[in-house]
């Protein structure tokens, strides 16, 4: 039946229905995110919500270690991990699952691409981001901050090598792509950016990331997208790798009993006759800290060779290296106060990946920092094809390799060590070639040469 007012009646009713639907939408329960501010895993959900036009409310006054231990929180996630998304249909935990849920709240979302293959590629990069990028950053960063696994140099070296391998793969993909999938931001970009965020902020210095220029471009492009920046704010790159912190250990039950034991001891002391006051200074002397023992190398007779002078000569010689630096070295060298050593890596057949080999040498030099006052070293990575050879030359204070270096730097055991016979002209020329980074070295190309000074 036709309406008295014709088509206008139909239009008016349609508009009224739209208003009612809109009002009903605002009456629906909101998604509530349980997490503290600054949680990079919570950022995934919040950024996805911004792109999808979905309202997600972040709970107020969330306290890590308190809010996530309440019975109400443990009902949503029995192991108390953060974040958790509370939805009208029930809670969701695990950050990627939460981000997926928010991304799918709208049927016409662009966050999952426009085809089945887009969807597969987005899932692919999300998994890559979690298993390759995020896990490697965590295995490098958290032990240094005193969380999780204890700090172990070999484990750190493995984590850095794995991270470099993953970033190299990501860098190659981004060399021909602005975003991970397609030509617009998808959920894969949101997750990848959040997983890179903590690394760039706390441990991935410019000197480290400069090896991956396309990853750098991608990260700074993403964090400056208005919808991303609204959630995470300004981002500043780490200026240095954080120093290793002591692991945070739970209090031992026995320690709680100590104050009680002291109180009992005081009661017993009251029963005993008072001791003369002369005994008090003796107690103070026993508690006074003992002076730190000197390094045995500091007790050696003075040497005519001043190590810092040689290091300055080496660093400042830019031309005529043989005539200036090498000649200067032998003029300074004191075989009574110093010794020269060749080292050869025992397991060169394992050096099949160039950046892993270079990282291995870099880790060794980093751990040798304890000997910087008493040593100078050159480490050569040799060969144009794998397996690469690692050989080195070291100058140590004293006539032998310092015992504290052998005790505290585990890398020493990975090398064969041979004392240089300076009366042998062949060995002496080998010393010259290693100091100079002469190429070819012993008939082979140099992949890299690193100096410890």
Q: Which fold has domain 307-452?
A: Alpha-Beta Plaits (3.30.70)
pTM equals 0.52
Q: Which fold has domain 116-232?
A: Glutathione S-transferase Yfyf (Class Pi); Chain A, domain 2 (1.20.1050)
Q: In the chain, list all ranges with CATH 3.30.70.1010.
A: 307-452
pLDDT band at residue 426 under the 50/70/90 scheme: very high
Q: Cβ-count burial of 300 within 10 angstroms (0-12 exposed, 13-18 middle, 19+ buried)?
A: middle
Interval 154-200: pLDDT, tens:
889 999 999 999 999 999 999 999 999 999 999 999 999 999 999 99
Q: In the chain, list all ranges with CATH 3.40.30.10.
A: 7-103
Instruction: Report the pLDDT averaged over residues 215-236.
Output: 95
Q: Are strands 90-93 and 338-345 parallel, antiparallel or unpaired?
A: unpaired
- Better pLDDT: 201 or 29: 201
CATH 1.10.287.3510 assigned to 7-103: no
Interval 9-39: pLDDT, tens:
455 555 555 544 444 444 444 788 998 888 8
């Amino acid at each position: 039946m036709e309406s008295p007012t014709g088509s206008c009646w139909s239009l008016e009713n349609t508009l009224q229905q739209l208003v009612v639907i809109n009002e009903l939408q605002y009456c629906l329960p909101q998604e509530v995110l349980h997490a503290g501010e600054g949680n990079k895993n919570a950022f995934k959900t919040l950024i996805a919500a911004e792109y999808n036009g979905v309202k997600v409310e972040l709970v107020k006054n969330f306290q890590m270690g308190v809010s996530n231990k309440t019975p109400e929180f443990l009902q949503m996630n029995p192991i108390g991990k953060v974040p958790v998304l509370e939805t009208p249909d029930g809670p969701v935990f695990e950050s990627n699952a939460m981000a997926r849920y928010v991304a799918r709240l709208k049927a016409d979302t662009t966050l999952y691409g426009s085809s089945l293959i887009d969807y597969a590629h987005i899932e692919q990069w999300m998994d890559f981001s979690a298993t390759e990028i995020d896990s490697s950053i965590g295995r490098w960063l958290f032990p240094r901050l005193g969380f999780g696994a204890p700090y172990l140099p070999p484990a750190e070296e493995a984590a850095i090598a794995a991270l470099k391998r993953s970033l190299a793969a990501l860098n190659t993909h981004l060399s021909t792509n602005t975003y991970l999938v397609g030509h617009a931001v998808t959920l894969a970009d949101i997750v990848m950016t959040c997983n890179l965020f903590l690394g760039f902020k706390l441990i991935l210095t410019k000197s480290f990331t400069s090896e991956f220029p396309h990853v750098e471009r991608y990260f700074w492009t993403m964090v400056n997208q208005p919808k991303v920046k609204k959630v995470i704010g300004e981002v500043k790159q780490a200026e240095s790798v954080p120093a290793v912190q002591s692991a945070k250990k739970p209090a031992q039950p026995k320690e709680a009993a100590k104050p009680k034991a002291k109180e009992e001891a005081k009661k017993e002391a009251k029963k005993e006759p008072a001791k003369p006051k002369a005994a008090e200074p003796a107690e103070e002397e026993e508690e006074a800290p003992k002076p730190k023992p000197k390094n045995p190398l500091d007790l050696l007779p003075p040497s005519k060779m001043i190590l810092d002078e040689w290091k300055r000569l080496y660093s400042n010689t830019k031309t005529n290296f043989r005539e200036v630096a090498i000649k200067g070295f032998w003029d300074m060298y004191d075989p009574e106060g110093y010794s020269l050593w060749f080292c050869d890596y025992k397991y060169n057949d394992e050096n099949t990946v160039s950046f892993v080999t270079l990282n291995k040498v870099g880790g060794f030099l980093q751990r040798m920092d304890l000997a910087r006052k008493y040593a100078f070293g050159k480490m050569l990575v040799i060969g144009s094809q794998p397996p690469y050879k690692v050989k080195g030359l070291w100058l140590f204070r004293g006539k032998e390799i310092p015992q504290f270096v052998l005790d505290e730097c585990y890398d020493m055991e990975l090398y064969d060590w041979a004392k240089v016979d300076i009366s042998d002209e062949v060995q002496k020329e080998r010393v010259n070639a290693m100091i100079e980074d002469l190429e070819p070295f012993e008939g082979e190309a140099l992949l890299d040469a690193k100096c410890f000074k």
